[in-house]
Amino acid sequence: MTDCIVMQPICAAGIALLRRAGLSVYEAASPHLADLAPHLTKARAVITRNHGFPAEAIAAAPRLQVIAAHGTGTDRIDRAAAEARGIQVLNTPGANARSVAEHALGLMLACARTIPASERALRQGDFAFRDRHRPVELGGRVLGLVGYGHVARALAGLARGIGMRVQAFSAHAIPQEIVADGVAPAANLDALCASADVISLHGVPARAPLFDAARLARLRPGAILVNTARGALVDEAALVHALRTGPLAAAALDVFATEPLPPDSPLLDCPNLILTPHMGGLAAEALERTGIEVARKVIAALGLPQPD
């Protein structure tokens, strides 16, 4: 009997909570449908991470009541198929916000200070790298936040702590709340792009990339772009072109249109581009918080009492 499938690993404390609530838990060795199929026929709940949960998996799970995302994003879960069956779709917004915000700040600093390139040069015996390259300070510069949810709000505080001026464009946040955080609301996305030295993405993807060739061309000369949100927000081919020809000085990506990143991706040999393997939310503390929260949400959604 399988009550809950954990498709991708979560913390031991979260697994223990599920079991103390009386659930039979299957920790999958693989998130692929062929491996999950024997357990889906019995599952009442599924916990997924970045793999999502497609319509064909929902169809294979006749007893399913809950699909829970370990993290914020639910865009890889087929919400229409879930809603048609009356299956709850849950997530854990904010649980890993501090971790992602710190990662975004680290990427911003790494770009501004040319840290990866400097480290590679030194290992190759090129101490004169220091005479040919001039990093920049972020203090006094403008950070533009695209979206103003949990991660962007945490990053705003961190950036202000190192002396940056922060602006934000959000279609959903209340302007008065943005102002109360010491952040200036931008009238629109193009206005934000025109004034920001660093752009950090925290929005939800639309049908087309928000940062396509036209918008990348509007960025200020010497700008830095950081994406720790969703790969679909950026046209990756256009980004490579912008980094090779301007106006971008540097960019950093933690998320990609296709994950894992294909070995022939043009991103891999693009200059002035820092890549990390979707690890913004993977701080040990964040994984513990998120695993416990997603377990408690599944238990509540199934109508079970919370364990002590």
Residues classed as catalytic: 230, 259, 278
Q: How do the residues of the chain divide into helix, strand and coil, expressed in percent and rounded to 5?
A: 40, 15, 45
Q: Do residues 94 and 147 lie in contact, with contact meaning Cβ atoms separated by under 8 Å? A: no
From the list 44, 58, 48, the residue with the least C-alpha distance to 27 is: 48
From the list 55, 33, 46, the residue with the least C-alpha distance to 89 is: 46
Q: Do residues 132 and 157 lie in contact, with contact meaning Cβ atoms separated by under 8 Å? A: no
Q: Where are the beta strands (DSSP E) in 198-271?
A: 198-201, 224-227, 250-253
Task: Return d(Cα 227, Cα 209) in angstroms, integer.
Answer: 12
Q: Where are the beta strands (DSSP E) in the chain?
A: 4-6, 25-27, 45-48, 66-69, 88-90, 142-146, 165-169, 184-185, 198-201, 224-227, 250-253, 273-275
Q: Do residues 141 and 120 lie in contact, with contact meaning Cβ atoms separated by under 8 Å? A: no
Using CB atoms within 10 Å of the CB of residue 214, give its burial: 0 to 12 exposed, 13 to 18 middle, 19+ buried.
exposed
Phi-psi region of 230 (alpha: psi -120 to 50; beta: other; left: phi over 0): beta
Q: Which helix (H) or strand (E) holds 151?
A: helix 150-161
